[in-house]
Amino acid sequence: MSTQNDNSHLGFVYQAKLLKDLFFEDDYNLINNKDGKLFLGWTLDMRKMIGDNKQVYSINKTSATYKQHNDLTNEISLIPNMGYEKKFSDKSKILFLLNAKNINRYTKSLGANISFKSKF
C-alpha cells in the first residue's frame, strides 16, 4: 500500500510508503528519595515497510524507480539507558545520563550527558 504525494509544483513527485511500527518502553526507579534518584530504562522499536519495496519518483517530470533491498525494509532498535540525578537544593540539581543504541543494521552507539540546572 502506498499514498501518492503530489509536490509537482516543487519539481518532484514521489510515492510515500506506509510503515507499521511496534514500540515498547519502560523505566525503573532504583533509588528515588528527596536527595536524588537512580533510574534504568529501555526502548524497543520495531518497524517494517508495508507493501512492495519499490520506490517510484520523478524529478522535473523525469521518472525513476528505486528498489529497496529486503534487509533494509525492516528495523529493530534496542535502546537501554541509565541515569542519576542529584539534588543539591530545591533550586539546583545535576543529572548524569548514559544511553546505548543497538540496531539490526549493524549500527551501535554509546552516548552520555551531564546537565546542571539551577534556579536563581
pLDDT at 1: 38
Domain edges within the chain: 2-118
Burial letters for 32-50: b for 16+ Cβ neighbours within 10 Å, e otherwise?
eeeeebbbebbbeeeeebe
55-95 pLDDT tens trace: 777 777 788 877 766 666 778 899 999 999 999 988 999 99
CA distance 92 to 115: 11
Tell me which amino acid residue 17 is. Answer: K
Q: In this predicted structure, what is the pLDDT of residue 9? A: 47
Give the mean model confidence (pLDDT) for residues 35-49. Answer: 91
